[in-house]
């Protein structure tokens, strides 16, 4: 049973470009969470999605950031017009059932570098 | 919203000694408290968790305690080994789904 998959593992963008980060949850998991980790800091919640629905986006910046989890295919975190401050590791996690069951399984992360 | 504080930020112990990491949380609605180990360049890996209806849980050399009244929980690692060296994060969850993480503890186990 494959774990949570994220790609790419490393992504380099120039200021102003778009970054697209993909997350394939574990098989059978329909809940996805995105977190951002700045160097030597903890993980900060960004957004929680179920299939085709955004449940909680309270941690996501209002501008330039968007997320989706379509009926088919991976969850996508999109960052438009990237700036140097977007450089971070972005992790997604998935869980099999609703949040009351709590346990989240993390992927290996995508490390975004903005030049 | 929830606020989780974690101490210490760095911890160095001799191989075979015990290590203790402490966290406090603010939201009394939090009911699930996982602990993660993160190695360099990797994602967090769940090592142990505890729910609010339990005061203590143990898994081999790792144990977690929870004091709901005081809103704090702790990770205890006994007989530490060099491979225990990593960054450890505590987190607090409510039924709303998202995890609020502490800022991490860098544990170094010296051989």
- CA neighbor of A59 nearest in space, from B39, B101, B41, B103: B101
* DSSP letters for chain A: ----EEE-SEEEE-TT--EEEEEEPPTT--EEEEEEE-TTS-EEEEEEEETTEEEE-TTS-SSSEEEE--SSS-EEEEE-S--GGG-EEEEEEEESS-GGG---EE---EEEEE-
pLDDT on residue A76: 98
- Grade residue A101 by pLDDT with cuts at 50, 70 and 90: low
Can you read off the two tokens belonging to residue B85? 């060296």
Q: How far is B55 from chain A (nearest CA, A)?
A: 18
More confident residue, A28 or A114: A114
Q: What is the pLDDT of residues B4-48, one digit of tens each?
A: 999 999 999 999 999 999 999 999 989 899 999 999 888 999 999
Cβ-defined contact of B97 to A99 (cutoff 8 Å): yes
**pLDDT of B95 over the 80 cut:** no
pLDDT digits (tens, 9 = 90+) for B47-91: 999 988 878 999 999 999 999 999 999 999 999 999 999 999 999
Best of A39, A43, A111 to substitute, by most chain B Cβ atoms within 10 angstroms, is: A43
Give the confidence band of A42 by pLDDT, cuts at 50, 70, 90: confident
Question: Are the Cβ atoms of B98 and A4 closer than 8 angstroms?
Answer: no
* pLDDT range class, residue A102, cuts 50, 70, 90: low
Strand-pair partners of A53? A50
pLDDT higher than threshold 80 for residue A100:
no
Q: Which of A48, A91, A103 sits opposite B98 (nearest CB)?
A: A48
Tell me the pLDDT band of B101, cut-offs 50, 70 and 90. Answer: very high
Work out the percent of chain A whose per-residue pLDDT is above 90. Answer: 76
Q: pLDDT at position A110, please?
A: 97
The pLDDT of residue A104 is 87
Of A43, A56, A107, which is closest to B97 when you measure between CB atoms? A56
Checking if the pLDDT of A37 tops 70, the result is: yes
Average of per-residue pLDDT values in chain A: 92
What number is the average pLDDT over the span A45-58?
Answer: 92
């Amino acid at each position: 049973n494959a774990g949570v998959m994220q790609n790419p593992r490393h992504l380099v963008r120039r200021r102003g470009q778009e970054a697209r980060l993909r997350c394939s949850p574990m098989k059978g998991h329909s809940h996805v969470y995105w977190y951002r980790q700045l160097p030597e800091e903890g993980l900060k919640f960004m957004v929680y999605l179920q299939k085709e629905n955004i449940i909680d986006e309270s941690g996501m910046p209002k501008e330039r950031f968007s997320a989706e989890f379509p009926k088919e295919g991976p969850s996508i975190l999109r960052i438009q017009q990237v700036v140097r401050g977007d450089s971070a590791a972005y992790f997604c996690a998935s869980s099999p059932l609703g949040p009351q069951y709590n346990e989240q399984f993390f992927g290996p992360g995508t490390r975004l570098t903005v030049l | 919203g929830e606020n989780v504080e974690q101490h210490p930020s760095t911890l160095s112990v001799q191989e075979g000694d015990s290590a203790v990491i402490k966290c406090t949380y603010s939201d009394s609605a939090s009911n699930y408290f996982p602990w993660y180990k993160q190695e360099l360049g990797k994602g967090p890996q769940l090592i142990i968790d505890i729910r609010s209806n339990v005061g203590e849980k143990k898994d081999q050399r790792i144990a977690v305690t929870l004091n709901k009244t005081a809103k704090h929980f702790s990770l205890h690692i006994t007989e530490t080994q060099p491979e225990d060296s990593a960054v450890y994060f505590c987190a607090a969850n409510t039924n709303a789904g998202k995890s609020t993480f502490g800022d991490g503890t860098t544990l170094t186990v010296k051989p």
